[in-house]
Structure 1
Amino acid sequence: MTHEFTIIVPIYNEEDNIARLDKELNNYLNVALKKTTVLFINDGSTDNSQALLEQICANNTHFSFVQFDKNYGLTAAIKAGFDTATTELVGYIDADLQTSPLDFNLLLDYIPEYDLVTGIRTNRKDSGFKKLSSSLANKIRRFFTNDGVEDTGCPLKVIKTAYAKKIPLFNGLHRFLPAMILLQNGKVKQIPVQHFPRIAGKTKFGFWNRSLGPLADCFAYLWMKHKYISYNVTKKATKHKS
């Protein structure tokens, strides 16, 4: 089978969610609009995540994994997924399953016309503090990027791989994926998706890396935007054998 869509799932100390990921992602594979493969990126977990990943990957030919030697952070995990993927499309979902893999089909409906389709978490099942810090972070990023994206932190996205592989990711810049697609003159679409409470494991983000941290990342983005090279080829010559 030739796969068309790769779902990237970063993993960092998520042993309590691995069984649920196995079940929910298998359920999605049965109804996926594209022939789909799942790529787990183990970002240096220190719990039993790796052993559990190896077990579910051994039982499913559509599952595979990459293991880091230590924890490098979410941006590195996403970049490793982009670098490894060989399919036309890549997606991304968090291991906590606060978004549903089933909603990938909502995003895939729009991908022929758009280069990145991202979710907007509706009726968020997070604490008031978490929602407040996330709202602040989104406002900061919109001010700097002017990308018009309401919920850049939504961990449910589909991107054309050719665009994803051109994104020069630096630590923290996973928050700017829509803006980085726009720098390539790509088209971005936002779609409402479901949101659920985290029922297992612990969140990896606090006030600093959810609200104040992104402020520093915005300056990195502005530097990137100033230095970014983008071009379109209109014609080229090809050599012919004599």
Structure 2
Amino acid sequence: MNYEFTIIVPVYNEEDNLERVETAFNDYFKIATKSTKVLFVNDGSKDKSQELIETICKRSPNFEYISFLENRGLSAAIKAGFDYVDTPILGYIDSDLQTAPEDFNLLLNHINHYDLVTGVRANRKDSFVKNMSSTIANGIRRTFTHDGMDDTGCPLKVIKTDFAKRIPMFNGLHRFLPAMILLQEGKIIQIPVQHFPRIAGTAKFGFWNRLIGPLQDCFAYLWMKKKYINYTVAKKG
């Protein structure tokens, strides 16, 4: 099949969610506005996630996977997804399904005119502490990046693949994807999407690594912004 759109799904110890992920995407494939496949990136899970991923991939050609030798973190999983995607457009969603695959259609409506379309979680269903720490972290990032995004941590994004592959990823920079597209002089927009409570598995980030990590990463971003190489070819022959 000639796929147009690949959705990256990072996985770390999500055995309780993966069958739900399979069902949700099989439903989405029926309504997707572009021919779509899913790329699982198993980030060195210690549970039965890999076994379940392989079973899902055997059941349908719309699913494929890569699996890390050891746990390397969310930024590494997203970067690996960027590296392995072979379609002109890619997306990203967390395997906890706190956002809905069906909302990719909302983002895809805008991808012809923008280089990154990110969701902004409306009526978030997280705890007060998680919501507050996320709000503070997003405020810190906006102060440093001036990207105008209200929810850069939203795990529902669509990006043109050629832009995604040029992002110089480091640990923590998955939180700065809109800003990294702006460094390439790309265009970005945010669109409200649904949000749901986590009903299985456990969150991988706590209060402090939602605050301290983003603050440290902001300084890395400022250094990168100062050193970033950008050019446009005017003519070749």
Question: Aligning the two structures, in what range does the TM-score lie when normalised by the shorter sequence?
Answer: over 0.9
* 1:55-134 equivalences in 2 (<5 Å): 55-134=55-134
Cα distance, 1:54 vs structure 2: 0.4
SS where residue 148 of structure 1 aligns?
Answer: coil
SS where residue 16 of structure 2 aligns?
Answer: helix
SS where residue 15 of structure 1 aligns?
Answer: coil
Q: In structure 2, what is the Cα distance between the partners aligned to 1:113 and 1:126? A: 32
Cα distance, 1:208 vs structure 2: 1.8
Q: In structure 2, what is the Cα distance between the partners aligned to 1:201 and 1:87? A: 30
**TM-score by structure 2 length?**
0.99
Q: In structure 2, what is the Cα distance between the partners aligned to 1:234 and 1:26? A: 44
| 2:21 aligned residue | 21
Q: In structure 1, what is the Cα distance between the partners aligned to 2:118 and 2:49? A: 27
Q: In structure 2, what is the Cα distance between the partners aligned to 1:189 and 1:172? A: 21
Q: In structure 2, what is the Cα distance between the partners aligned to 1:214 and 1:189? A: 21
Deviation per CA, 1:52-101: give whole Å up to 9, x if none. Answer: 00000000101000000110000000000000000000000000000000
| 2:166 aligned residue | 166
Q: In structure 2, what is the Cα distance between the partners aligned to 1:217 and 1:207? A: 16
* 1:207-218 equivalences in 2 (<5 Å): 207-218=207-218
Q: In structure 2, what is the Cα distance between the partners aligned to 1:189 and 1:92? A: 15
Q: CA RMSD in A?
A: 0.5
Deviation per CA, 1:79-124: give whole Å up to 9, x if none. Answer: 0000000000000000000000000000000000000000000000
SS where residue 16 of structure 1 aligns?
Answer: coil
Q: In structure 2, what is the Cα distance between the partners aligned to 1:158 and 1:168? A: 18
| 1:201 aligned residue | 201
- Give aligned pairs, total: 237
Cα distance, 1:212 vs structure 2: 1.7
Q: Residue 201 of structure 1 aligns to which amino acid in structure 2? A: G
Q: Residue 7 of structure 1 aligns to which amino acid in structure 2? A: I
SS where residue 10 of structure 2 aligns?
Answer: strand
Q: Residue 161 of structure 2 aligns to which amino acid in structure 1? A: T
| 2:179 aligned residue | 179
Identical-pair percentage: 67
Q: In structure 2, what is the Cα distance between the partners aligned to 1:209 and 1:65? A: 28
Cα distance, 1:38 vs structure 2: 0.3
| 2:12 aligned residue | 12
Q: In structure 2, what is the Cα distance between the partners aligned to 1:81 and 1:29? A: 20
Q: In structure 2, what is the Cα distance between the partners aligned to 1:209 and 1:42? A: 22
Rg larger for: 1
Q: In structure 2, what is the Cα distance between the partners aligned to 1:65 and 1:192? A: 29
Cα distance, 1:8 vs structure 2: 0.1
Deviation per CA, 1:24-55: give whole Å up to 9, x if none. Answer: 01111111011101000000000000000000
Cα distance, 1:211 vs structure 2: 1.4
* 1:215-226 equivalences in 2 (<5 Å): 215-226=215-226
Q: In structure 1, what is the Cα distance between the partners aligned to 2:71 and 2:100? A: 25
Q: In structure 2, what is the Cα distance between the partners aligned to 1:123 and 1:67? A: 34
Q: In structure 2, what is the Cα distance between the partners aligned to 1:196 and 1:234? A: 47
Q: In structure 2, what is the Cα distance between the partners aligned to 1:120 and 1:174? A: 15
SS where residue 31 of structure 2 aligns?
Answer: coil
| 2:51 aligned residue | 51
Q: In structure 2, what is the Cα distance between the partners aligned to 1:6 and 1:106? A: 16
Q: In structure 2, what is the Cα distance between the partners aligned to 1:77 and 1:22? A: 19
**TM-score by structure 1 length?**
0.97
Q: Gaps spanning 5+ residues in structure 2: where?
A: none
Which ranges of 4 or more aligned residues in structure 1 deviate by more than 4 Å?
none
Match status 1:32 vs 2:15: no
| 1:140 aligned residue | 140
SS where residue 117 of structure 1 aligns?
Answer: strand
Q: Residue 153 of structure 1 aligns to which amino acid in structure 2? A: G
